[in-house]
């Protein structure tokens, strides 16, 4: 996530810098630094923003589960936490999912795959 996306998402949540800092459990100074591009946006902050946006917009309603979209075989589903926790509309939020046939070791590696995936891109597209 870059600083422009961060600002856009904060505005979509209709929050001031102070309000978003409180929601994310960080300082206003950190928020300002993210928005100015002086500091990289940590993975946990990016993740929390997506989570808040998903629930604000109810973007999970009417969506297909990831395993339906990706046509995952039974064996892959059985080993995937998205399947285990019935979170196929939020697979992008869960570490350890079996995307591209293997679990990713970090949020950054996972999001590199998710940013190209229909499940995630359709969610982001719906944000406007």
Where does 3-57 sit in CATH, by number?
Answer: 1.10.260
* Whether pLDDT at 58 is above 70: no
Residue 109: φ, ψ to 5° = -65, -40
- The span from the CA of 90 to the CA of 94, in Å, is 7
- In this prediction, residue 40 carries a pLDDT of 94
- The span from the CA of 8 to the CA of 75, in Å, is 39
CA count, 13 A, side-chain hemisphere, 94: 19
- In this prediction, residue 27 carries a pLDDT of 96
Question: Over the stretch 68-100, which tens digit does the pLDDT of each residue have?
Answer: 988 989 988 888 898 999 888 888 888 888 877
Extents of the domains making up the chain? 3-57, 66-126
Do the Cβ atoms of 69 and 99 come closer than 8 Å? Answer: no
Question: Over the stretch 23-33, which tens digit does the pLDDT of each residue have?
Answer: 999 999 999 99
pTM for this one?
A: 0.70
16: left (phi over 0), alpha (psi -120 to 50) or beta: beta
- Six-digit token pair at 19? 């309000």
- Six-digit token pair at 93? 């939020």
Q: How confident is the model at residue 8 (pLDDT cuts 50, 70, 90)?
A: very high
- The span from the CA of 13 to the CA of 127, in Å, is 10
36 contacts: CB under 8 Å, gap ≥ 6: 3
């Amino acid at each position: 996530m870059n600083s422009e996306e961060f600002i856009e998402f904060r505005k979509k949540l209709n929050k001031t810098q102070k309000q978003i800092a409180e929601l994310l459990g960080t300082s206003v100074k950190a928020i300002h630094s993210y928005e100015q591009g002086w500091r990289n946006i940590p993975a946990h902050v990016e993740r929390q923003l997506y989570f808040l946006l998903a629930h604000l917009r109810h973007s999970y309603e009417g969506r297909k589960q990831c395993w339906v979209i990706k046509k995952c075989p039974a064996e892959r589903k059985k080993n995937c936490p998205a399947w285990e926790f019935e979170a196929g509309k939020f697979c992008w939020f869960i570490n350890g999912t079996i995307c591209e046939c293997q679990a990713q070791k970090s949020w950054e590696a996972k999001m590199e795959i998710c940013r190209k995936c229909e499940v995630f891109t359709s969610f982001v597209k719906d944000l406007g």
